[in-house]
Amino acid sequence: MRKRNESVTVEHERAAAAAVPAPLDKGCSLRHSLRLPAADAGMKRPLGRRYGFWFRLRRLIIWLLGVYIAIPFLVKLCPAIQAKLVFLNFVRVPYFIDLKRPQDQGLNHTCNYYLQPEEDVTIGVWHTVPAALWKNARGKDQLWFEDALGSSHPVILYLHGNAGTRGGDHRVELYKVLSSLGYHVVTFDYRGWGDSVGSPSERGMTYDALHVFDWIKARSGDNPVYIWGHSLGTGVATNLVRRLCERETPPEALILESPFTNIREEARSHPFSVASILCFSQQQRVMLPATNASFSFQIYRYFPGFDWFFLDPITTSGIKFANDENVKYISCSLLILHAEDDPVVPFHLGKKLYNIAATSRSFRDYKVQFVPFHTDLGYRHKYIYRSPELPRILR
């Protein structure tokens, strides 16, 4: 009886043990349960990343579109922005130079002056004497340099373009070339440029140039005086020479380097155009080291009302620089220099200006010459001074 009970008990325990899941099954079951959530999370995470990326991209596109649409209205409502972009007078390149010390730029035969065209306006002037007077000029004061203008050497009044100062690298190199050719070179920063005091405007720039020209003529006697304008400075140059011809005191000749027809055509044709707000905020090189450059809006070229939004504010600000109109009233010899690969002022604008001048009755008794520089030379917008042909051309 006891054996039978014991056998029943053993069978009962075996049956109970069989009813309990095996440890292996339990382990597998646990592992399976652990894997499933991990797999689900892995599927959700890439979806979340993709969703976040497209959301941010869409938000960026909407923001850029908003800025793109807002800029034309901003420019239209604030014409002063366009004036800033035309002049770029707040771009001082190269930085950290002392304009009172032209010798730091390798101009040991140059003197720094300050003239006052109007009340509350002071302009900084550099006068570089011909290389033949270099030794005599060392250590001399302003009075000696002023008297030197009466020596038997021609004088060039150089009117620089927008951005930078009279100490710009390519400008300094041109002074050296002209000095080596036997010219006095007088240049200055318009009011609002460099260390000159005042607010820039087309009228003010022209008046500054007129003041410096009269200052030169009062000291140079019968020596010939030539006007040389570069880029935006060609607009100042034709304004100046037109006034001089109207009062019957024309210069010996007018030299225009990389000229345009008028500021509206230059703004419309500018091949480096980017949104004005970008040029306004970062400034190039100005071309921006220039330069520049930098005041037209090719990405808006087909924007509805392009002229109304972008070009009209320029003239509203009193900025015209109408070279094409001015040459019709100029009566002196004219030389135009332009590089075919000019990336700032398109070559065809210089050629167009020449065609206007060549057919103008005001030049019927004077020589008008256009000198192109082939693309292979690489003179672009501001390196024509490198041409070995320049001495021959000027002669």
Name the residues annotated as catalytic.
231, 342, 381
Crossing angle for the helix pair 79-87 and 23-77, nearest 10 degrees?
A: 90
The conformation of residue 197, written as its DSSP 8-state character, comes to B
CA distances (Å), origin 28, targets 18, 19, 137: 18, 17, 99
Reduce the DSSP state of residue 106 to 3 states and report it: coil
CA distances (Å), origin 56, targets 59, 64, 243, 337: 5, 12, 58, 50
Q: What angle do CA 356, 386, 351 make, to 5 degrees?
A: 15
Place of tokens 């220039």: 290
- Rounded Cα distance, 166 and 289, in Å: 13
- Rounded Cα distance, 316 and 338, in Å: 29
Kindly report the number of other CB atoms within 10 A of residue 52's CB atom.
Answer: 10
Q: Which amino acid is at 241?
A: V
Indicate the helix (H) or strand (E) that contains 172: helix 169-180
Indicate the helix (H) or strand (E) that contains 118: strand 110-118
Backbone angles phi, psi at 361, to 5 degrees: -65, -25
Phi-psi region of 50 (alpha: psi -120 to 50; beta: other; left: phi over 0): alpha
- What is the dihedral angle through the alpha carbons of 205, 394, 135, 189, rounded to the nearest 10 degrees? 10
Q: Do 175 and 184 meet the contact criterion of CB atoms below 8 Å apart?
A: no
